Copies of this chain bind each other. A is one copy, B any other.
Amino acid sequence: MDQQYQALVYVTLRPSVLDPAGTAVKSGLQHLGYDNVNQVRIGKYIEVTLTAADEATAQQQLDRICDQLLANPVIETYRFELIPADAPVGC
Question: Using a CB–CB distance below 8 Å, which chain A residues touch chain B?
Answer: 2, 4, 10-12, 22, 25, 28-29, 32, 34, 36-52, 61, 65, 68-70, 77-79, 90-91
Contact = CB atoms under 8 A, between A and B. Distances in A.
The majority secondary structure among interface residues of chain A is strand
A45 B11 contact: yes
State the oligomeric state as a number of copies: 2
Given A46-B41, A69-B29, A91 B12 contact: yes
A75 to B, nearest CB: 14
A46 B26 CA distance: 11
A45 B91 contact: no
Contact of A45 (B2, B32, B44, B48): B44
Nearest to A57: B36
Contacts of A79: 90-91
B45 A12 contact: yes
